[in-house]
Structure 1
Amino acid sequence: MKWRLYLPMQILAIGAHPDDIELQCAGTLAMYVKQGHQVFMAVVTNGNMGNYDVAPEELARIREAEFNQSCTVLGATPIWMNYPDELLENTVQNRLVFVDMLRSINPDLVITHGANDYHPDHRYTHQLVWDALPLAGIANIKTKHPATNRQVTLYMMDNLGGIDFHPTEFVDITETLELKKAALSKHASQTRIFHDLLDIDLLDVIETVGKFRGYQAGCKYAEGFTKVEAWYRGLSKRLLPESDQESRFNYKTEG
């Protein structure tokens, strides 16, 4: 039996709204943090249109503060892009903003929404990320930060409620489910409005979907992902975190 050290990675999760990342992949991000990787969470829009009883400018401030608190719970670094809620567009100008954001992190792996998610901000976020990734490595496209120095692997996270999403890989989040719930709980303005308007408990949603994905994955709770397959972005090893005792310390046995 021999030991192999995994070097720390730069992990970037990109969500359209301030609570999207917590809903869909916070358990996995918490696993990455536990294993010594550096995690960044980028929120594209400021969520300023989400509540009927709070003015947009004030709501944007509230949701940014909640997002920062959530990142603290998970041990992640926040990135607040501050686009207006509900109005995101896939333009060349916005694509270049995404290019520069990606370059500022130089990530090994990016997680974002799927192309068929229910909300246009989710779908445009997916498209902007997907279109920006190849440009981020082209040195002659100039932004504030230098070009990335690696081919970046892209994963799509689950759709809300697991609807019309078919994972190809799973992460066992049994040991980080409570951290995921604690992080989502920081988004009090959003959990309240879902309860008031739709009678939906978002904490119950993540536990229910987590348990369902766990049945599929063969564990108690899981999150599901699909790797975006593309030229020169294949993998010869797994980049999503594993839940065994050894991987918590960035080691894996081979024998």
Structure 2
Amino acid sequence: MSSTETRTQRKVALALMAHPDDAEITCAGTLMRLADDGWETHIATLTAGDCGSLTGDATEVARTRIAEGTAAASLAGASFHCLNEPDGRVVYDRTALQKVIDLFRSIAPTLVITMPMSDYHADHEITGQMGRAASFVFAAPNASTLPLVPGSTIPHLYYCDGHGGTDRLGQKTEPTTRIEISEQLDRKTEMLACHASQREWLRVHNGIDEYLSTMRCYNHTRGSECGVEAAEVFVQHTGHAYPANDLLAELFPLNRSCQNEVIDASAALGS
């Protein structure tokens, strides 16, 4: 069986994020569309977000945030996993990477969404690096002691949007893929609302008070770029050995007028 045939037959999607609530902010609408299309979906976080609170010790905060992540994932029909690396101190080392490889090995995803490798938070960037590394190597027989799931192969790989659509230096990033989530936006808001512990933290530490409306407004902004109510955007990894076809765009195409608007807007910016 070829790798192309394997990817067609296996419909398993994994969102590898840094913290509970990252998926809800960046890609939950797309995960819902995948689940509704018959995909098995998973949300995994490198950390439990134990630094994301003004009160409570790390164990208490981690327990709360894992419970919030589990509840949110269930609303999208997804399974939740946490690898319990320390929040704010994620490092790219062999031990942490092996956890990610073992997770990939057990799930054997054929579509992966991970974090941008240039973003405001170092945890996000390192998560993206680990997502890329694990996606490439997990199907190699000697990469893990866990059994190899039949059909394991290099998956389609996408990076989600950086905060505000910018990289770590505040420069705008250009998406390769735009997915309409107009019908999923209310459910996505319900998912993010599960992370109630984050409101005070985000208000004080990040200067974001209404995190639900902030997320919705940003998805409306991304949607307006291509003529739909709301959208999530991604950058596809198409380097050597990775699938080159844009699977998400093939599964959930924008209508032709939307695609033309994106092309026209890009041309105008470049003129």
TM-score (norm 2): 0.83
RMSD of aligned alpha carbons: 1.8
Amino acid across the alignment from 2:200 = R
Partner of 1:14: 16
Which segments of 5 or more consecutive residues in structure 2 lack a partner in the other structure?
1-7, 167-171, 255-271
Given candidates 187, 212, 217, the residue that maps to 1:179 is 187
Partner of 1:249: none
Range with bigger deviation, 233-242 or 65-74: 233-242
Q: How has the CA–CA distance of structure 1 residues 51 and 176 changed in structure 2, closer, same or farther, with 3 Å as cutoff?
A: same
Q: How do 1:66-215 and structure 2 match up within 5 A? A: 66-146=68-148, 149-163=152-166, 164-197=172-205, 198-215=207-224
Aligned residue for 2:158, secondary structure, equals: strand
Total equivalences in the alignment: 239
Amino acid across the alignment from 1:206 = M
Aligned residue for 1:90, secondary structure, equals: coil
- Greater relative contact order: 1 or 2 (C-alpha under 8 angstroms, separation 6 or more)? 1
Aligned residue for 1:110, secondary structure, equals: strand
Whose helix fraction is larger, Structure 1's or Structure 2's? 2
The 2-side partners of 1:141 and 1:162 are apart by 34
Partner of 1:252: none
Which segments of 5 or more consecutive residues in structure 1 lack a partner in the other structure?
1-5, 245-255
The 2-side partners of 1:160 and 1:26 are apart by 15
Alignment of 1:52 with 2:18, yes or no, is: no
The 2-side partners of 1:217 and 1:145 are apart by 43
Instruction: Measure how far apart 1:54 and its partner are.
Output: 2.1
Aligned residue for 2:141, secondary structure, equals: coil
Partner of 1:31: 33
The 2-side partners of 1:239 and 1:117 are apart by 22
Given candidates 242, 253, 258, the residue that maps to 1:233 is 242
Instruction: Measure how far apart 1:74 and its partner are.
Output: 1.0
TM-score (norm 1): 0.88
